Amino acid sequence: MGSSQGAAVALGKFDAMHTGHRALAAEAQKIGGHPWLLSFSGMANVLGWPERQPLVAVSDRPRVLTSWGPYCGGVVPLQRYIPFAAVRQLSPNDFVKVLALNLKVSGVVVGKGFRFGYKASGDTEALQTLGAQYGLKVSVVDLVQGDAKHGIEKVSSSSVRSALADGQMNRVRKLLGRPHRLVIQPTGNTNILQAERWKFQREDFKNQPPTDGKYVGHVRMMLSQGGSLQLPFPVEIEIDSSGILIHTNSAAVTDPPPSTAEVLIDF
């Protein structure tokens, strides 16, 4: 997987992998070569936050990072996780020391308003001061903050979740810079009704779906024996409390699909 030593790292949770996160990765490439995203695992468990589905399925993150290559000097960003419990109580100074002396990174990129250190006691100004002390390049990126008068929305993971909860898929696509992809890994409870109607259970969803309702999306089915089945045009999709129903409406699908490893739906 390589090492982040000598590279610049972008700091954040990166749960939505939205256009703001992409901008951080692009800046990391500019100041430090191959860009890395540095995230913290286990935050919800340590802080007692309720568990919720990710916005991007774990298996889909490499695809998204690959799509960022053109924005990052033609290289694909990499991602590294540090257990949150291991750094939670570090002072701002000790946290920056970990970056400089333990991880040996060359630079740090954060968004405007970033906080770090125990009880979020460090801000971007402190990061710049400490970075200078430890020989780190520090870049603070002014992400889109929102402008209601001109119809510009603040780019954040919370705004992506809100748009999904409202079923506003055009808004989601704008925030992400790509369609939202729902990943489904079918289990034994999967019920494929017939060639023109495929039903999958909600417990098989690997990331957050749009709210219940009717949508149009592009569907690809990854087959257990290898290969895939791509529906040739957008189809109607229904989501409800039990799961998702895909209306294939496709003359190319004459039989129920064979054993399925994964279903990918782009909204």
Distance CA 257, CA 87 (A): 47
Is 60 exceeded by the pLDDT of residue 35? yes
How far is CA 107 from each of CA 4, 30, 58, 207, 211, rounded to the nearest angstrom? 10, 10, 26, 32, 40
Whole-prediction pTM: 0.89
Mean pLDDT of 42-48: 82
Distance CA 22, CA 182 (A): 20
Of 24-28, 112-116, 146-150, give the lowest mean pLDDT range. 146-150
Specify the pLDDT at position 34.
92
Please list the residues that pair with 55 across neighbouring strands. none
For the record, the structure tokens of 113 come out as 């308003």
Is 60 exceeded by the pLDDT of residue 189? no
Domains and CATH numbers, the chain: 8-141 (3.40.50.620), 181-266 (2.40.10)
Residue 1 binned pLDDT confidence (cut-offs 50, 70, 90): very low
Residue 152 binned pLDDT confidence (cut-offs 50, 70, 90): low
Which pLDDT tens digit goes with each residue over 55-109? 999 999 999 999 999 999 999 999 999 999 999 999 999 999 999 999 999 999 9
Mean pLDDT of 166-187: 95
Specify the pLDDT at position 147.
45
Cβ neighbours of residue 179 closer than 8 Å, sequence gap 6 or more: 169, 173, 217, 218, 266, 267
Which pLDDT tens digit goes with each residue over 232-247? 889 999 999 999 999 9
Distance CA 56, CA 64 (A): 9
Look at 42 and 101; give whichever has higher pLDDT: 101
The string of DSSP codes covering 104-149 is --SEEEEETT--BSGGG-B-HHHHHHHHHHTT-EEEEE-----BGG
